[in-house]
Amino acid sequence: MTDLNREREARDTSQMASSGRIAALKVLLVAHHERGEAGAVARQVVEWLRANGHRGWLLPDDADALAMAELADDTSPAEADLVVSLGGDGTMLRAVHLLDGAAVPLLGVNLGWLGYLTEVEAGGLTDALARFASGAEAGRWHLDERLMLEVVAEQADGTPLGTWRALNEAVIEKWESGHTIRLLARIDGERFTTYAADGLIVATPTGSTAYSLSARGPVVSPRHRALLLTPVAPHMLFDRSLVLDPSESVELEVLGHRPAQLSVDGRLITILREGDMLRCVPSPATACFVRFSDVRYHQVLKEKFGLSDR
């Protein structure tokens, strides 16, 4: 059992009353700032939580954006029993980043279009919360744990630029339009090859249906632990993705004078220049999504991408 699983088990045990229910939920709501319905749903959820002896709140930034100052609270996301994401997959990613590796379950409510990572629609949210409060021991929900990346960048002289976690991917892409960039890829410290391309994506299985998919990378089941290295518009004969074992590290070095930009899960992080390095390995932390059914991954894929029976 991993340390995170032990932490989660200890949290669940301490929160269970004699009936097996979670006595009083602490629920953080993370809401999309530009979807009008997010505020209305947040208010309804907080009212339901309070009426049933639970607590719900928004972080100050979300509360300000939705003009709901009365729900603002700066309590750390790590202290929540559950984080509820109100939006789409982008809001789910933001919720994962706010947790910063904390072992807190995340429930996604789809207020967007695709909602690939989300679990329920807005109309079913209060029922979902009631099911969650009944406790995992009641068999009414389970956790879907997803591998995340640990992303470390440093300058050519070894000066650290920072460390981040990614649920989907880390991307090094060209900064200037109309030019390719050159990137040296190392696997487990050994030179693999030099890419001339618009960029390189290091993705998780969850991220295999995000940017990597649009770059013609493979679709990988999220149950699988792997790293994907996918080139973006490569200007070379070798244009295939690599699917690597999670024990293998990926290092990317910027070659030549053209700068590149580093993005993590769609967020622009910094500009990398000649000799700067990026290293990606599996994070010891995982993202934990609440699921209420045993629908298989390929069936979710089929539904979300509108694949027909043939």
| Catalytic residue positions, numbered | 89
Taking the C-alpha atoms of residue 282 and residue 277, their distance in angstroms, rounded to an integer, is 17
- 56 strand-pairing partners: 27
Taking the C-alpha atoms of residue 176 and residue 97, their distance in angstroms, rounded to an integer, is 28
Taking the C-alpha atoms of residue 53 and residue 74, their distance in angstroms, rounded to an integer, is 20
Identify the residue whose tokens are 């340390």.
3
- Does residue 219 sit in helix, strand or coil? coil
Taking the C-alpha atoms of residue 158 and residue 132, their distance in angstroms, rounded to an integer, is 46
Residue 268 token pair = 């622009």
Instruction: Give per-residue burial for 21-47: e unless 16+ CB within 10 Å, then b.
Output: bbeebbbbbbbbeebeebbebbbebbe
Dump the DSSP string for 54-118: -EEEE-HHHHHHTT-GGGB----GGG-SEEEEEESHHHHHHHHHHHTT----EEEEE-SS--SS-
**Are the C-beta atoms of residues 31 and 43 closer than 8 Å to each other?**
no
What amino acid is encoded at 247 in this protein? S
Identify the residue whose tokens are 């487990």.
188
Taking the C-alpha atoms of residue 86 and residue 72, their distance in angstroms, rounded to an integer, is 16
- Strands 169-174 and 260-264 come out as antiparallel
User: What DSSP element (H or E) covers 233?
Assistant: none
